[in-house]
Amino acid sequence: MYIPVLILSIFWTIRIEACSGGSGGCCKKSPPVVVNCGGQSQCQQGYGCGQYGCARRKAFGGLTKRIDGVLVDDELEEQAELADASSRLRPEHVHAHNISTDRLVNPNFIFRSCCEARGLPDACLSHCHFNTYTAKTLERMFNKRDRCPIEAINEIHYCAAQGIDHRQCCESNGVGATAAGTKCLAFCDQRPNRFTPVDASYLPCYEVFEGMKECFYYEIK
CB 195 within 8 A of CB 27: yes
Q: Give the model confidence (pLDDT) of 87-107 as tens digits.
A: 333 344 434 455 566 666 799
**Choice between 99 and 61, residue whose per-residue pLDDT is larger:** 99
How does residue 32 score in pLDDT terms, banded at 50, 70 and 90? low
Rounded CA separation 166/173 (Å)? 10
Question: Which of left, alpha, beta for 179 (phi over 0: left; psi -120 to 50: alpha)?
Answer: alpha
Rounded CA separation 193/15 (Å)? 11
Alpha carbon of residue 55 to chain centroid: 16
Question: Which of left, alpha, beta for 119 (phi over 0: left; psi -120 to 50: alpha)?
Answer: left
| Per-chain mean pLDDT for the chain | 73
pLDDT of residue 16: 57
pLDDT of residue 193: 81
Q: Could you tell me the CA-to-CA distances from 5 to 2, 43, 147, 153, 198 in Å, in that order?
A: 5, 36, 22, 17, 12
Q: Average pLDDT for residues 60-66, to the nearest whole number? A: 45
Q: At 139, which helix (H) or strand (E)?
A: helix 135-142
Q: At 54, which helix (H) or strand (E)?
A: strand 53-56
pLDDT of residue 45: 62
Using a cut of 0.85, tell me whether the model's pTM lies above it. Answer: no
pLDDT of residue 5: 62
pLDDT of residue 75: 44
Q: Average pLDDT for residues 11-34, to the nearest whole number? A: 50
Rounded CA separation 14/45 (Å)? 32
Q: Give the model confidence (pLDDT) of 126-137 as tens digits.
A: 999 999 999 899
